[in-house]
Amino acid sequence: MLRWKCLERRNTMPLNLHGRPSVWYVDGDAECGQAVRYGLLDHAKVTTFADPSSALDELQKTVHPEVVIADLAVSNRNGLEFLRAVVKINPDIAAIAVTDLPDSDELVVRARHDSPLCWRVTSKENFFVGQNMASVVAEAAAEHGRRHLRRLRDEHGLEIQKRLSDEGATNLELGAFSRLEAVLVKHLLSHLDMRQADKFILLWAADLYDLGWRAFPDNPDRAREAAVRIFSGLAGMEKVLEAARDWREHFDGSGPQGKRAQDIPLFARIISVADFVCQAIAERRSPAGIMARVRNHSGTWFDPQVTAVFLQMQVAEEFLQMIEREQQAQKGGARERSAVVNAPPDGEPDPEDSEP
């Protein structure tokens, strides 16, 4: 019956879940495990377990999943205790309880009232129907990302503020990220293959990186060096540190350190495009000219995968409209960025462009 219900998913457009989350499903019913693997085939990397103890053993020695789903009745009604143990090991994991038990059952009541533990409690009947499974998992993966970012902010927020102050950025505040650049980074992230937790961290990294630009608007080398010092030695911020170190590298290896292609972290490749576009906007370039400049530098300065996402019609169309609105709003004053003097006309190759 469950397998038949999951067939409904094949008659609908798959959800656009890029960066497929890792999902563990724990249930003694093999048919349910097969249904989850099939129902999430296009949307998640699924590992199934029949026994909670096996899943806990695996959790101690492997990369943690973003989402763990367990039947409350598994292993003599020990599903809730299993989820409690999972969240104790890693509080970032989004735990979902599924059940065939009635709402009045004591175990279901306990699960529903233990909201810090169970991110969601749902009946199997609802979970296995059509797109519900993929939708719930997508929401749970996003919740994992938010939890992970919240923990990093709690752990490192004060230290980062102190380091910013030490670097001379005393008049800047976290969360003051340029609205336009934030929207562009989100556009790019929504179409690139990346874990949800990494997407949230990258947005924060872009926020912090933007502080460096505004602290040292005329000295990109100093901004990069300051960012490296700010993020060094902070657990969980390794990818942010990589982005801070390498965002000025060029895809063809012509950048400051000579890194090329996939040797440049994806975080850095994304921020490089976003910064270049937003600087061009601050220079009052036309939308068509901005698109042409990005296209001209695809494969040389920028990762073709990232520029292809930016240039594809649906994203470009939305962004062009956003650029026009932003330029109207900026008529009274430009964003604090270094200007490019004597820039070539829009749409022409820029042999003397400053580095992004």
Note the pLDDT of residue 50. 94
| Beta strand 94-99 pairing with 45-49 | unpaired
Note the pLDDT of residue 5. 34
Cα separation, 302 vs 322, in Å, equals 22
| Cβ–Cβ under 8 Å, residues 201 and 185 | no
| Beta strand 94-99 pairing with 118-123 | parallel
Note the pLDDT of residue 23. 94
| Cβ–Cβ under 8 Å, residues 83 and 59 | no
| The two structure tokens encoding residue 22 | 């890792």
Note the pLDDT of residue 94. 92
| Cβ–Cβ under 8 Å, residues 138 and 199 | no
| Cβ–Cβ under 8 Å, residues 87 and 93 | yes
Phi, psi torsion values for 239, nearest 5 degrees: -70, -30
Contacts of 53-61 spanning 24+ positions with Cβ under 8 A = 55/24, 55/26, 55/82, 55/86, 56/82, 56/85, 56/86, 56/89, 59/86, 59/89, 59/90, 60/89
Residues 299, 302, 306, 307, Cα dihedral to 10°: -70
* Among 15, 73, 2, residue whose Cα is nearest residue 44: 15
Q: Which residue has the tokens 């937790």?
A: 197
DSSP letter for each residue of 85-146: HHHHH-TTSEEEEEESS-TTSHHHHHHHH-TTTEEEEEEHHHHTSTTHHHHHHHHHHHHHHH
Phi, psi torsion values for 230, nearest 5 degrees: -65, -40
Q: Which CATH class is domain 167-332?
A: mainly alpha
Note the pLDDT of residue 317. 63
Cα separation, 173 vs 58, in Å, equals 41
Low-confidence residues in the chain, pLDDT < 70: 1-19, 115-116, 130, 169-183, 186-187, 190, 193, 205-221, 223-224, 313-356
From residue 3, how far is each of 8, 10, 51, 173, 235 by CA, in Å?
Answer: 9, 12, 21, 52, 43
Q: Which CATH architecture has domain 2-138?
A: 3-Layer(aba) Sandwich (3.40)
Note the pLDDT of residue 182. 59
Note the pLDDT of residue 326. 60
Q: 257: how many CB neighbours lie within 10 A of its CB? A: 13
Note the pLDDT of residue 130. 66
Taking the domains of the chain in order of start, what are their residue ranges? 2-138, 167-332
Note the pLDDT of residue 318. 65
The predicted model scores a pTM of: 0.68
Note the pLDDT of residue 227. 74
